[in-house]
Amino acid sequence: MRPLISAFLALTPVAFAQYVLEDDYLAGGFASHWNFFTDDDPTNGYVDYVDEATAVSSGLLSTLVNGSVFLGVDSTNPGTGRGRPSVRIESKKNYNNGGLFIIDLAHMPGGQCGSWPAYWLIGPGGADTGEVDMIEAINTDTTNLMSVKTGRECTISQQVMTGTLETTDCNVNTGGVVGCSIDSASPFTYGGGFNSLDGGVYATEWVAEGVTIWYFQRSAIPADITAGTPDPSLWGVPLAKFLTSCNLNENLINQQLIMNIDFCGDYAGNPFYWDNDPTCKSQADTCNDFVQNNPSAFEQTYWLINSLRPTTRTNHDYKPTPRADDDYKPTPRTNHDYEPTPRTNHDYEPTPRADDDY
């Protein structure tokens, strides 16, 4: 039987080489760390986000005997009303001034027509107060599209990484809702390919100078992560490196962690993507029709979380300078008129989340 990182972390001190433990989301009851979002989906998805009690009673949220947490969707009944029952959880805690977010997943959703799963950070004003999409894709995508979004001028450029640079303008007010984005390029980083290897670890380091994301297959998780003393300086070439021209600590404000599984909506259900996905289009004329009438298609659409432990840097040698526009008040975007932008790898053309008006 494979060991879980969480089992090792539970036995180690909370002081890390460069980081100190801030939160353990599987300690003290997983649900106690989150708010359950139950409003209508801000991205117009065919989804019914349910509360904690409903999620537990209907089997969408449960804790396994090994301590892992299952977070899934209804894969039994036809969709009704607002759409297919699912869960969207938002951390009660807000994060500022960076950190290291390490998640060990035994399984992730992905690869199913109509699905739009995401693991991400976002501020209270949508992308105008910053957003980092760490895991996100739609429909039959086989790779992960990571992105950073800001409300002010901010760009990235090509860096040493295994992912493929897609877009370079992070400012949603000039570059559109795409933000700056990097495709993982490997089918083992997302969905079925990720799950075929018994999952793995995503580690996201946010510092003032940028965001760096690593992915480690189960068989190649660094010893320092397993030991509970993560040191990103030892991890080698990352999956994605967003070295930004702006100070991200001033652009990522009051960030909440979010995990959700959406359906259709402004991204997966956009005709630009649905109509150009031959697998999905051949099964239903629209995304909503497919998701409503094919519950069994979503039996593998779930997160299985072994551990999630954000940490904080101990060496705060970087001091961001005060902003010149201290009276700046971000306002939520309304972006339902956006035009999707094709990606550079033309055999696969998704665009990042369109929920900047959340």
Cβ–Cβ under 8 Å, residues 112 and 300: yes
Nearest Cα to Cα of residue 352 among 145, 131, 45, 120 = 145
Count the alpha carbons within 13 Å of 353 in the hemisphere toward its beta carbon: 35
**105 Rama class: left (phi>0) / alpha (psi -120 to 50) / beta:** beta
DSSP code per residue over 32-81: GGEEE--S--TT--SEEE--HHHHHHTTSEEE-TTS-EEEE---SS--BT
Q: What is the spatial distance between Cα 148 and Cα 241, in angstroms, rounded to a whole number?
A: 10
**Phi and psi, residue 120, nearest 5°:** -160, 170
220: number of CA atoms within 13 Å, CB side?
9
Radius of gyration (C-alpha) of the chain in whole angstroms = 19
**Closest to 144 in 3D by CA, of 170, 168, 171, 162:** 162
- Residues identified as active-site: 131, 136
Q: Name residue 130's amino acid.
A: G
* 3-class secondary structure, 233: helix
Whether the CA torsion 125, 158, 247, 120 is positive or negative: it is positive
CA angle 104, 199, 210 (to 5 degrees): 55
CA distance 194 to 188: 4
Which residue has 């209270």 as its token pair? 124
